[in-house]
Amino acid sequence: MANQKLVCVDSSVFISHLRGGSDRQQVDIPMLRGFFNEVDSKKVSIVFPTMERGELLQCRWSAEKYGEFIRLLDLPNVEEAPVNPLVSETASEIRNYYTEKNEHDQSVPKMSLPDSIIVATAIVWECGTLLTYDGDRELPGKPRKLLGLANPIGGKHALHIMKPDPIQLGL
Summarize pLDDT for 122-146 with one digit per residue, the tens. Answer: 999 999 999 999 988 665 555 468 9
Per-residue pLDDT, 106: 82
What's the pLDDT at 170?
86
Order of strands, sheet of 160-162, starting from the edge strand that comes earlier in the sequence: 78-81, 44-49, 5-9, 129-131, 160-162
Q: Look up the pTM and report it.
A: 0.91
Residue-wise burial string across 97-127, b where 16 or more C-beta atoms lie within 10 A, e elsewhere: bbeebeeeeeebbebeebbbbbbbbbbbbeb
For the residues 44-52, what does the mean pLDDT come to?
A: 94
The mean per-residue pLDDT over the stretch 22-30 comes to: 91
pLDDT score of 121 more than 90: yes
- Comparing 11-20, 75-84, 141-150, the range with the smallest average pLDDT is 141-150
Compute the distance between CA of residue 120 and CA of residue 53 in angstroms, rounded to an integer: 17
Residues 6+ apart with CB under 8 A from 122: 7, 8, 47, 128, 129, 130, 159
The fold for domain 5-162 equals Rossmann fold (3.40.50)
CB 147 within 8 A of CB 135: yes
Phi, psi torsion values for 114, nearest 5 degrees: -60, -40
pLDDT beyond 90 at 62: no
**Given the DSSP bridges, would you call strands 44-49 and 5-9 parallel, antiparallel or unpaired?**
parallel
